[in-house]
Amino acid sequence: MERKPTKVSIIGAGAVGSAAAFSIATQRLASEIAIIDVNREKAEGEAMDISHGLITMGSMDIHCGTYEDIADSDLTIVTAGVGRKPGETRLDLAAKNIAIARDVVANLKKYYKDGAVMVVSNPVDVITYVIQKESGLPRGRVFGTGTVLDSARFRYLLSVKTDADIRNIHGFTAGEHGESQFAVWSSVHVSGMGLDSFCEKRGIVLDKEEIMRETVSSGAQVIKRKGVTNYAIAAIAAELTGTVLKNRGSIFSVTSVLDDYYGIGDVAISVPSFLDATGVRAYLPYDFTEEELERLRNSAAQIRAFMDHLRL
């Protein structure tokens, strides 16, 4: 049976949006990629630049788009937003990007027909909440990259500190994509062996608190050196794109608006979720330890308090 052509629309042609488009194209995940930006010339340039490399990627239609492209997209990716400036508070940044998100919502209401919506813009938990709630889309249709990138950074740091292949290291972080996130240490294993047992047998001493501090500060460290983080999040966006377009039902720690997940509701934070063509199909009631559950609830409370300040 012939495969149905797949289409992805990316809203935002900045460093993250353009890198995501490139990553999706190089992995040949979609047959059409529309790049949408208020700066149409920038979007045209990004589409042209990627298209000039199609000889190495295969046949794809990569073009500057408009919001009308959302109508027949299998996945819409929201990367539009501004970065935090020196001296600017998190509340200031959120207020600016919420205004941009509401413009996205207005256009979703005009043109959306089907497909999932993936949010990359920061603060991703807040923006995911706003787009889900104000768009009126079915619950779970809107999800954010959440702590998937943090989990990747976490696994990378563990691979460095244990001298093990990152492909053999499994585990994730949950909660806010920010300061209150936490490592789900009970989930971590190396090729099926519990992390503590692995380290004991190899004579490795880990400072778990230091690893988590490094995980949380990784993005800031990159921004300090190059001004933006875009390659790793683009790779994550592409991985999640493949999961949605291929309807895999894979489990990722993405952010979405929860409804009574261990008593947590009306807030968007990252928990293990089944991801398919519809977005978040269901949540995995993960076997958190009591301490981990307390951390999850604390993270949810912090995000809720932050949104209360924003009157959301």
DSSP letter for 19, please: H
At 166, list the tokens: 């990152």
Query: Cα separation of 14 and 308, whole Å?
Result: 29
Query: Cα separation of 252 and 146, whole Å?
Result: 9
At 190, list the tokens: 């190396």
Sequence-distant (≥ 6) Cβ neighbours of residue 102 within 8 angstroms? 130, 134
Cis before residue 123, ω within 30 degrees of 0?
A: yes
Angle at the Cα of 154 from the Cα atoms of 222 and 15, rounded to 5 degrees: 35
List the one residue out of 270, 78, 96 whose CA is nearest residue 183. 270
> DSSP states of 96-114 as a string?
HHHHHHHHHHHHHHHH--S
How far apart, in Å, are the Cα atoms of 205 and each of 148, 159, 202, 312? 26, 13, 9, 44
Could you give the count of Cα atoms lying within 13 Å of 299 in the half-sphere of its Cβ?
27
CB-based contact 186:172 (threshold 8 Å):
no
Catalytic residue among 63, 177, 189, 309: 177
At 38, list the tokens: 């208020």
Rounded to whole angstroms, the maximal C-alpha distance in the chain is 60
Judge whether 170 counts as a catalytic residue: no
Cis before residue 86, ω within 30 degrees of 0?
A: no
> DSSP states of 137-174 as a string?
PPTTSEEE-TTHHHHHHHHHHHHHHHT--GGGEE--EE
The catalytic residues are 177
